[in-house]
Amino acid sequence: MKIFYMLLGCMLAMGGLFVPAGFAADVEVTVDLSTTAGYIIECDAPVERTDGTALPIEEIGSFEFHRSPDGTVYTQVGQVTGEPPACEYLEDLDALGEGLFYYRVTATDKLPPPGGRRSDLSPDRLLLTVVRVAPPRSPVMLEGRAVAR
């Protein structure tokens, strides 16, 4: 079973590329590894550059998803490209295992040439706690009784 979650307010505040969102927020989510195989992280694509000029979606070359175990140092774990790229990343929870993980997003433009201007990490973070919840114990003291006609 896959859980879909939209990372709200992820307008990618980017120093050097995009206009910051109005606020930075942490979105906290807990998923049960025993019932969930994957988790989709999404965000809204930016619509402006930092100088206030419009940024058509066609000028975005990619979105890069970054993960951190403690919220300090982030490592890129996925990149989405396309025409236009979707700001969406599927995390394989089976490969990830249990723990607390922080996610942030960057965007890279492709126009005008040479392109490749990367934003700062999004101010918003998704905090994903992956746990394995044990199933309930089996019922005990199984009995029966006759029902009169």
- Does the pTM surpass 0.85? The reply is no
Domain range for 11 is 2-131
Domain contains 72: yes
Residue 7's closest CA among 47, 41, 36, 30? 41
In a domain, 90, yes or no: yes
Examine residue 79 and state whether it is found in any structural domain, yes or no: yes
Specify the DSSP class assigned to residue 58: G
Q: State the total domains in the chain.
A: 1
Q: Answer yes or no: is 147 within a domain.
A: no
Q: Is residue 138 part of a domain?
A: no
Residue 91 is assigned to a structural domain of this protein = yes
Summarize pLDDT for 63-100 with one digit per residue, the tens. 999 999 999 999 999 999 988 899 999 999 989 989 99
The dihedrals phi and psi of 79, each to the nearest 5 degrees, come to -135, 135
Is 60 a domain residue?
yes
Report the percentage of the chain scoring pLDDT > 90.
52
Q: Rank 8-17, 111-120, 140-149 by mean pLDDT and report only the highest.
A: 140-149
DSSP codes of every residue in 96-125: H-SEEEEEEEEEEE--STT--PBPPPPS-E
Residue type, 144: G
The pLDDT-based confidence of 18 (bands split at 50, 70, 90) is very low
Residue 140 belongs to a domain: no
Banded model confidence at residue 24, pLDDT cuts 50, 70, 90 = low
Query: What CATH number corresponds to the domain at position 81?
Result: 2.60.40
Q: What token pair was written down for 85?
A: 């790229």
